Amino acid sequence: MIPITLSDALTLPCGAVLPNRIAKSAMSEALATIDHKVSDQLVRLYEAWSEGGSGLLISGNVMIDRKALGEPKNVVAEDESDLDGLKRWARAGTKAGNHFWMQINHPGKQSPKDLNETAVAPSAIPLKKEIRLFFRDARELTETEILDLIQRFGNAARLAKQAGFTGVQIHSAHGYLVSQFLSPLHNQRTDRWGGSLENRMRFLMEVYGAMRAAVGPDFPVGVKLNSADFQKGGFAVDEAIEVAKVLDAAGIDMIEVSGGTYESPVVATGVKPDQKASTKAREAYFAEYARLIRNAVKTPVMLTGGFRTDEAMIEALTEGDCDVVGLARSLVLDLQAPAKMLRGESFLSLVKPLKTGIKAIDSTGMLEIWWYGRQMTRISNGKPPRPSESPIYAFVATLLTKGAQAWATRKLRAN
């Protein structure tokens, strides 16, 4: 068998072809206008990424409801009021002939307190005390609301296709709403949406069904799935494998494997709660789980989290851990990295651990999101990223900016 290389094309189940095996994974840009429309900054950022060589770009999470945001300045895809903006974004992100998929999301209980007036979740179970302060306690969704949310996911997918995106991805990872439904810890419903794994995955499958119905059989629909939540009593890899099998049978086009939640931010560091500090971790945080999932399905598997060298990416492809490698932070610090690797140059990521020295800040994934968010903002303004930026400075500056943006968002809603 000829080993797979980074530059090999990949045909997806729907027939679409990714031109190579490198993907930019979703990163919430928080660069929309204050009323959630596509901005010039987003257009510039994605033009730059498109020219960077990735076969697939996945947008940062786009929200299905302007009253349920993950961050201020999220793009919202609810109706056709900004179809022209979405078209400009889609054109920019596909400039070099690569794929550009819209990631579609709802925060559920990971709903910032200063931003949203209410929060909803499968069950009214608060987040753990260390982070509960930042989020609004959620109430349980009603059956009618669940059905409405499913239609909203489908509607966002329809808008994405209409705007010229070349695919869509369901965000079913990192503790957001869809992954809350999968979790036995966060979903304690006793109706058809909770209890058995079959019931807990019903929301994801209905969301997939609504999105597939909206875009048709020839259009890529992918999912970002947690291999595990890394929480006691939470969603674990044996269940992730079962969910992957059902998605495979239903015709999903790609399963991106990730892990963790805000309560257990493994995705930022790769350090699992049960792991001894001395254990030498593999570069790719979730490689062993991705391989288990890939062995159980026909659907192509994308693996994201921790890739820092071309050697590790090639190893993951040739050893059968995955079909596509996903990169996030590395592509903020080096936008041209995929093009360089595809030319055969070696790659060493500039990503380094970020620390402020304050445990309460360093133990959440927030610092990474905010520090890289600042670098994306620089790029979107035509400036280079600043790898040497002080983490504590970035944290405080973002705290103030986000506070002001949340206030402006609430004010706009009130008018």
Q: Is residue 330 at the binding interface for ligand FMN, with CB under 6 A as the rule?
A: yes
CB nearer to ligand FMN: give 28 or 123: 28
In the stretch 36-65, what mask flags binding to ligand FMN with x, by CB under 6 A? ------------------------xx----
Q: Which residues contact 177 (CB under 8 A, 6 or more apart)?
A: 105, 106, 107, 108, 109, 120, 121, 149
Distance CA 291, CA 272 (A): 17
CB nearer to ligand FMN: give 136 or 329: 329
Q: Is residue 266 at the binding interface for ligand FMN, with CB under 6 A as the rule?
A: no
Whole-number minimum distance, CB 224 to ligand FMN, in Å? Answer: 5
Whole-number minimum distance, CB 357 to ligand FMN, in Å? Answer: 20
Beta-strand relationship, 324-327 and 301-304: parallel
Q: Which stretch binds ligand FMN (CB under 6 A): 25-33, 128-136, 380-388, 394-402?
A: 25-33
CB nearer to ligand FMN: give 108 or 373: 373
Q: Which amino acid is at 368?
A: E
Whole-number minimum distance, CB 80 to ligand FMN, in Å? Answer: 23
Q: Which stretch binds ligand FMN (CB under 6 A): 46-54, 134-142, 199-207, 300-308?
A: 300-308
Q: Is residue 25 at the binding interface for ligand FMN, with CB under 6 A as the rule?
A: yes
Among 157, 170, 303, 327, binds ligand FMN (CB under 6 A): 327
CB nearer to ligand FMN: give 43 or 225: 225
Whole-number minimum distance, CB 260 to ligand FMN, in Å? Answer: 9
CA angle 333/337/338 to nearest 5° reads 135
Among 92, 120, 157, 173, binds ligand FMN (CB under 6 A): 173
Whole-number minimum distance, CB 414 to ligand FMN, in Å? Answer: 27
Q: Is residue 26 at the binding interface for ligand FMN, with CB under 6 A as the rule?
A: yes
Q: Is residue 111 at the binding interface for ligand FMN, with CB under 6 A as the rule?
A: no
**Distances in Å between the alpha carbon of 278 and those of 23, 232, 281?**
31, 22, 9
Whole-number minimum distance, CB 256 to ligand FMN, in Å? Answer: 8
In the stretch 131-170, what mask flags binding to ligand FMN with x, by CB under 6 A? ----------------------------------------
Whole-number minimum distance, CB 191 to ligand FMN, in Å? Answer: 28
Whole-number minimum distance, CB 190 to ligand FMN, in Å? Answer: 30
Number of residues engaging ligand FMN in binding (CB under 6 A): 25
Sites of contact with ligand FMN (CB under 6 A):
25-28, 60-61, 103, 171, 173-174, 224, 258, 267, 304-307, 327-330, 368-369, 372-373
